[in-house]
Homo-oligomer: A and B are copies of this chain.
């Protein structure tokens, strides 16, 4: 039988000395990253906006600092909007990006071109002592049948963006930021922040 326990230190050198001793005695260690993940709120919202607000409110309540959070994902028409708010969990917890978009491509196998329309949606939330704001943006494209490019993350390599004739996985950071759901949402948030600034602090 193994005991699962948390090693409560942020000093990675200490953690590694301690882990070595404890794992030898058959103890399963919960690492720092896993422990911090346990402190995250559950994303129980039905929309990207609800989840972004849940996260921003949670960390605002813990830190007392102005907090922004992102919730975002891919909606595919043929799949009635899936993976949607479950985009990150679509292929189970701990899955790789490749497993996620692999599952998506498998679900869409045989679907005709015109049924593969998709959009990326991003909700950017900001919460401060006096209130909250939400900025939701999207970008339209379609899901191609083979991944292309290795930039970005998540579903980027299978999301084809017609105006540039490339997938998001083939765009540079700056190109993607310029037209992406996240770029648009956070630029609106940043602009709002510049104007609202004196009211927040």
Is A59 part of the contact surface with B, judged by Cβ < 8 Å?
Answer: yes
| Contacting residue for A22 out of B68, B173, B197, B198, CB 8 A | B68
B40–A193 CB distance below 8 A: no
Is A119 part of the contact surface with B, judged by Cβ < 8 Å?
Answer: no
Nearest CB of chain B from residue A3's CB, rounded to whole Å: 6
Q: Which residues of B contact A14 (CB under 8 A)?
A: 70, 72, 153, 182
Nearest CB of chain B from residue A187's CB, rounded to whole Å: 6
Nearest CB of chain B from residue A36's CB, rounded to whole Å: 5
Closest to A62 in B: B39
- Given contacts A17-B183, A177-B17, are A66 and B5 in contact (CB under 8 A)? yes
Q: Which residues of B contact A109 (CB under 8 A)?
A: none
Is A139 part of the contact surface with B, judged by Cβ < 8 Å?
Answer: no
The 8 A CB mask of A10-38 against B (1 = contact, 0 = none) is 11011001101110111100101101111
B1–A197 CB distance below 8 A: yes
Nearest CB of chain B from residue A137's CB, rounded to whole Å: 12
Closest to A190 in B: B25
Is A106 part of the contact surface with B, judged by Cβ < 8 Å?
Answer: no
The 8 A CB mask of A123-145 against B (1 = contact, 0 = none) is 01010000000000000000000
**This chain: how many copies in the complex?**
2
- In the assembled complex, the Cα of A87 lies from the Cα of B25 at a distance in Å of 29
Is A167 part of the contact surface with B, judged by Cβ < 8 Å?
Answer: no
Q: Which residues of B contact A105 (CB under 8 A)?
A: none
Nearest CB of chain B from residue A93's CB, rounded to whole Å: 13
B8–A194 CB distance below 8 A: no
Give residues 54-75 of A contacting B (CB, 8 Å).
55-56, 58-60, 62-63, 65-70, 72
Q: Could you jot down 20 A-B contacts, CB within 8 Å? A: A3-B193, A3-B201, A5-B66, A6-B60, A6-B63, A6-B68, A7-B68, A10-B33, A17-B182, A17-B183, A17-B186, A18-B68, A20-B173, A21-B187, A22-B193, A26-B194, A35-B59, A35-B63, A38-B62, A39-B39
